[in-house]
Amino acid sequence: MPRIAGIDVPDKKKIYFALQYIHGIGPKFSANILAEAKIDPNRRSNELSEQDLAHINSIIDSGFLVEGALRRQVSQNIQRLKDIRSYRGERHRRGLPVRGQRTRCNARTRKGRKKTVAGKKGVKAK
């Protein structure tokens, strides 16, 4: 498996898709990196020479925030929102949707599994 930016990328896949296994690199950045390195996006990652891999690594190191540094920056941004007690920070703290989605129904991804609350027993009227 070739190592790019400290990450093992799949060797049977095309390099365009293999680069997207790195956290912080999506389709657009993958295409930009390969265009700058002058590498055909349809080549398999195991077909690349050490020189090509080194060139891709240098491009990523010089211009992109990836993996641990990116995760750290995102968590610091969320922590800042919590510290200043903003609305978005409070939503993060409570584990509720942050971007304005409804919570009356749905929102199960953020809220987790249903917590069934025992309902009131039906009172028989005479």
Please tell me which of 41-50, 56-65, 69-78, 108-117 the model is most confident about, judged by mean pLDDT: 69-78
The whole-model pTM stands at 0.76
30 in any annotated domain: yes
Q: For residues 14 and 30, what is the distance between their CA atoms, to the nearest angstrom? A: 11
Q: Give the pLDDT score at 80.
A: 97
Give CB contacts under 8 A, 24+ apart, made by 42-47: 42/14, 42/16, 43/14, 43/15, 44/11, 44/12, 44/13, 44/14, 44/15, 45/2, 45/9, 45/10, 45/11, 45/12, 45/13, 45/14, 45/15, 45/18, 46/2, 46/11, 46/12
Number of domains the chain contains? 1
Domain membership of residue 17 as a residue range: 3-63
Tell me the per-residue pLDDT of 28-42, one tens digit each, with 9 for 90 and over.
999 999 999 999 999
Could you tell me the pLDDT band of residue 94, with boundaries at 50, 70 and 90?
very high
74 in any annotated domain: no
